[in-house]
Structure 1
């Protein structure tokens, strides 16, 4: 490879180099393998030599901009927290050796968020044409200085980087309406967005379950609308009252904190649906005039805004205060999941539709959204909404956020609208990232780390001109099943690392194997900052043929990881594996009883997963968690939920199907299985299903509160047992059900169905065990 290098610290530029985000060859390959940058830079080349950064090093601010000094201090603070190096910041000329930050209109970059970063044996220089570019260059430099979990001095390979993002919108949406986060927690999340070079924080502040933003003109929005009475309030740790809101001073603080990290905060104020908290506070702005409670139900609630002039004045008055707090060009107005039942039943609304010569209720929503869009335009802002805004017509300059798959983005871009790709389930962080029994709460289907990394924001249906309307991609953290920031961090990281590369790096440079090799250093950065990331992609799966093991007394064990990367080590005696444990290369046999533990390590010996364990015995193989048992055929809907809606721990969680409470215990040798033991759980039925409520399966029950019925082989098979459920008003949330089974021979599956009334609580299976004769739990 031919290179022409000029002295970086003598006022000369790096020139004449063919740069590419591909592996270096020859003598530099080992150095490049040690460069663990996420997202991958647009252009990177490795040169010869190293530069040592230790406690004697200085960060030099080489221009007169106050913003450069702020970036230097940010970099120094980040290095101190994560590497233990306390580097002084000083203003002055670009001397050697030093780390030099310079905002330079001649910097060799084209994009306003681009930067140049050069490391030579003489020093380090980061330059950019504006503040954002310099900030991102500093973030990349921090990653170069934290290649591992070590503290203190670090030797940095000589590299030359010319970098810029692929997309202008690189976002995360956080739902603060369903569950509330403190300002300190928001700041901590913003820090991570900045470190991943994400630049949009979409803040979901209002919904049926809570109004979280102080509006001084309408104090009832937070006095009433910010608080709800949970189901099972005050029971087993569930709070008697749940909620909170952000004062306007707190919001200004968050916006300033984000701005300092080059993150735009885009507020979302939902309309015309998801309005139950508003109507609870001010019933006159609803359709019926009646005051509902702030909702405790997840899902789609029926309450809509009225569409009279008084309600529009309310909306614009709220938007005035919102625009005063958020300088963002975009104001998000929601527009999604507005069930039109109340509008259809209202004579006043129907008269309005007739007076406006509109086709139907969807067109009325389009009329309202257009009116709001024109109001925002008049105040120098632009409307953005979920893709339902397309259904009834949308302002010409509106931006569309596509969540119902990618069809909305395709339709909008073909019509000339800017679009942000944020499809469910692909980029929904409340989707489970694995189907492991030990995964925490969330939705099925699984969206694992690899699927996020593989997401392509530009739909293939768009031509080159239409593709220019794609602003970027955004992940959404809906918090119905994420009550705390611990849950959010587990769901977001490392999947946001994958998204950052999707949004930033050239599509041709994305490579899954390269990404997984760069993750160990990223995990170390998370650990240094106390980020509770998920190790699901690298967690060992310990699998076997259960029935073969039951028959022979010997288990043939296979180990694997979701990511297909890392080194698996295992033990057979129940001890935690370390660097000296056996390396997994092929399935191995274990005689029952035994306990197998496994862990995943990176090539450098760093830990990629916590240990996972599987106890192997006749009893354990006959005992299955409800999370391991599939739905019965006919309904794929599945959630993992906590015992209470506002539980603060990551475990336990239980699998439920709100439409059909039926699960299958897989085919098992039934000879000698005399009884069944079930650890059962009662859960709140706090789900608003709107028009899908008709899909809920209701079954007859023979006792007042229903039964758990066990069928042989399939759900219409013979009944083997029927276990009455206790009175939900007086019984414990967790309870035990036992029943004798008639004699069976051979392998049979079991279908377990709850027949509880559908207007009462839900029930889940925590654990189901088949018991030999003469045994007790």
Structure 2
């Protein structure tokens, strides 16, 4: 992989530009490219021959048996990426240097790949096995242009997956992506041998799939006005109202994506939501609501808040007619075995308060509201079973008594999965936070919006799907594992990519490779090779796990700076003149003793390959006394989020760390010698969170003057007030605004505590940056 330009935004995304393909003339006399063997996920057996190799020319044939249409499609997929990765042109036919061969008797998804002196042979019994053998062949080609071909070492790979469910979930209810983005993601899943795409298409904030029998689901439910002043003031001239945000898939588009996935050995599992997360269908068809509670009305539009809504379906027969009508179209569109019915976070307040629902519970002989949810699950399970499908739901479906055939997706840790498997139910492990890609990979200040409790690459890699406590005769019920990409805080496509990549590679190896084959230290060098492949394919990859992080301690006119990265991998090199570090730059081997001036710039390399973009650290007094909001500590950890501002509508929005239950920040060990003023960059956010009964725990400091103020205390939150900065002058501004004022003299060092006063929950204020000034 060639060193080149770095690009980035709120997150530095790894995109290293390599050379373009050389001309045939330039290739004359060149030697074939020798590529180190690097296969990810690690195979069951990789054995080199004692000697020998095969030179794959830049133009070659790829052979499949006549009439084997599935093998031909796998060959076409391989040819596409051979061109993208190495500039190798493979032409399909019945003869060639690369051969796809059916062999009876091999396990499902298993393959054998043989490189010998006369070419490459990929053997498998199943369609998926042929594709996966082709994917491993692609990895042997490397990721550099090979105008003279590639010299492949003679070897044999024999491989099969550990788990049958190797999944990734994409939530599009919150933000609609479109089929091109989904296809791009499906390709990358196939290239890592993942085989299940869980498509979260409906929720309180959007309904993304056309249902012909119920057209209002998309007419009403696919569109919303995002929260915040910026969206409210964005008036659509065609309607005179705030511009709507959203979209949906037509059934033709769904069929197109399903077929595309099938050609890549990927099954799509669609999810609808029952009985909670039902705001959008009820907004479209209010007769589905619980309508007999005084003062409670059905929603009229999709929600623009994140969190847990209390809106539930009513349990009456017309609701089941609706649900079965939706499912009839769902099972027609999605031929896979599983249909996901949600079942999570169904707050039962409406059912408890409804006289009609309470009468229904009594009439049906149910014990309580949990049993009523079990009634929903049982009915849908019977309906799906009668149509040849298997119901799968989040682990809350255990609470009302689980239907005999149901499968559990364990998200609240692994306990639900352990319980379900122990009772003979199949289970997919998908625990929060470990396999939730909306949780950030690091706690760095330059991470993108998300949930800032770090779930690192290593955390994902080292997750074990089979609980140690599970009895040996029940372990076969663990079908596999899945990572979930909830998208509340992933407004843009690039944020999805940098949330998923590179952790998807850890997911792939964790679900494919035998437990005894997994070794994180051996995985990282192969991941570096995978970074090169992603670069060649134009995938944006977060580099924050490898990126340099700085800790400084000033002593007079000198600064001691410790530089390290989260994963402890690679060589960190630095400069002091503002230039980009190169392989010739000095390496960080100990804390750096530096003068109090200029700028430290550092980047991470793995061998000769740059794996993290340069990061800067100011060595002057002003920089050392400036902290970004992401570097401040929270006073509590009740519900920490990294949010983005609601504006501007276009362009970059800053990330803002906040505990929405207790908005309070600590600037620890602040250097206050000679400081007389404080400048704080803040942002006014909409409080767009549905917290059900949890709203009572949100802490609100009452305002002292109209508009509120930012109060600064020291030492810590129990100390004296040392600064008060009114918010009225900047109230109503879109984006980040700055307030400044005097701060009481405090001596050399103290911890500053920051809290906002405000008239109520909304708006919510957050800190972007704090500067201490002389």
* TM-score normalised by L of structure 1: 0.91
The 3-state SS of whatever aligns with 2:578 is: coil
Alignment partners' CA distance in 1, 2:79 and 2:70: 14
Which residue of structure 2 aligns with residue 480 of structure 1? Answer: 488
Higher relative contact order (CA 8 A, sep 6+): 2
Alignment partners' CA distance in 1, 2:642 and 2:299: 32
Which residue of structure 2 aligns with residue 158 of structure 1? Answer: 154
Alignment partners' CA distance in 1, 2:715 and 2:731: 33
- Please tell me whether residue 256 in structure 1 is matched to residue 272 in structure 2: no
Query: Contact (CA 8 Å) 1:148, 1:521: kept in 2 or not?
Result: no
The 3-state SS of whatever aligns with 2:350 is: helix
- Please tell me whether residue 72 in structure 1 is matched to residue 75 in structure 2: yes
Which residue of structure 2 aligns with residue 171 of structure 1? Answer: 167
Alignment partners' CA distance in 2, 1:765 and 1:291: 33
The 3-state SS of whatever aligns with 1:257 is: helix
Stretches of 4+ aligned residues off by more than 4 angstroms: 147-152, 235-239, 645-651
The 3-state SS of whatever aligns with 1:443 is: coil
1:488-523 alpha-carbon deviations (Å, 9 max, x no partner): 100001100000000000110101111101112101
Shift of 1:248: 0.4
Alignment partners' CA distance in 1, 2:245 and 2:746: 50
1:134-174 alpha-carbon deviations (Å, 9 max, x no partner): 11000010011125576662222222111000000000010
Sort the Cα spacing of 1:488 and 1:648 in 2 relative to 1 into closer, same or farther, 3 A.
Answer: farther
- Please tell me whether residue 188 in structure 1 is matched to residue 184 in structure 2: yes
The correspondence of residues 383-402 of structure 1 with structure 2, limited to 5 A, is 383-402=391-410
Shift of 1:538: 1.1
Match of 2:674 among 651, 657, 672: 672
Shift of 1:441: 0.7
Alignment partners' CA distance in 2, 1:653 and 1:708: 19
Which residue of structure 2 aligns with residue 438 of structure 1? Answer: 446
- Please tell me whether residue 557 in structure 1 is matched to residue 561 in structure 2: yes
Query: Contact (CA 8 Å) 1:149, 1:528: kept in 2 or not?
Result: no
Which residue of structure 2 aligns with residue 403 of structure 1? Answer: 411
The correspondence of residues 620-631 of structure 1 with structure 2, limited to 5 A, is 620-631=623-634
The 3-state SS of whatever aligns with 2:42 is: coil
- Please tell me whether residue 40 in structure 1 is matched to residue 42 in structure 2: yes
Which residue of structure 1 aligns with residue 477 of structure 2? Answer: 469
Further displaced range: 289-298 or 161-170: 289-298
Shift of 1:607: 1.7
The 3-state SS of whatever aligns with 1:497 is: helix
Query: Contact (CA 8 Å) 1:36, 1:147: kept in 2 or not?
Result: no
Which residue of structure 1 aligns with residue 386 of structure 2? Answer: 378
Aligned pairs, number: 729
The 3-state SS of whatever aligns with 1:365 is: helix
Alignment partners' CA distance in 2, 1:578 and 1:381: 56
Alignment partners' CA distance in 2, 1:152 and 1:712: 68
The 3-state SS of whatever aligns with 1:583 is: coil
Alignment partners' CA distance in 1, 2:729 and 2:480: 52
Which residue of structure 1 aligns with residue 576 of structure 2? Answer: 572
Which residue of structure 1 aligns with residue 606 of structure 2? Answer: 602
The 3-state SS of whatever aligns with 1:610 is: strand
1:273-331 alpha-carbon deviations (Å, 9 max, x no partner): 00001111111001126343311000001110011001110010010011110001110
Query: Contact (CA 8 Å) 1:41, 1:163: kept in 2 or not?
Result: yes
1:13-41 alpha-carbon deviations (Å, 9 max, x no partner): xxxxxxxxxxxxxxxxxx99922111001
Residue ranges of structure 2 left out of the alignment (5+ in a row) = 1-32, 236-241, 292-296
Further displaced range: 405-414 or 520-529: 520-529
Sort the Cα spacing of 1:509 and 1:612 in 2 relative to 1 into closer, same or farther, 3 A.
Answer: same
Which residue of structure 2 aligns with residue 105 of structure 1? Answer: 104
Query: Contact (CA 8 Å) 2:661, 2:698: kept in 1 or not?
Result: yes
Q: CA RMSD in A?
A: 1.9
Query: Contact (CA 8 Å) 2:135, 2:191: kept in 1 or not?
Result: yes
Query: Contact (CA 8 Å) 2:36, 2:140: kept in 1 or not?
Result: no
Which residue of structure 1 aligns with residue 11 of structure 2? Answer: none
1:339-359 alpha-carbon deviations (Å, 9 max, x no partner): 111111111000001111211
* TM-score normalised by L of structure 2: 0.91
Residue ranges of structure 1 left out of the alignment (5+ in a row) = 1-30, 773-777
Alignment partners' CA distance in 1, 2:114 and 2:170: 35
Shift of 1:57: 2.6
Sort the Cα spacing of 1:291 and 1:559 in 2 relative to 1 into closer, same or farther, 3 A.
Answer: closer
Sort the Cα spacing of 1:651 and 1:448 in 2 relative to 1 into closer, same or farther, 3 A.
Answer: farther
Shift of 1:233: 4.9
The 3-state SS of whatever aligns with 2:712 is: strand
- Please tell me whether residue 225 in structure 1 is matched to residue 221 in structure 2: yes
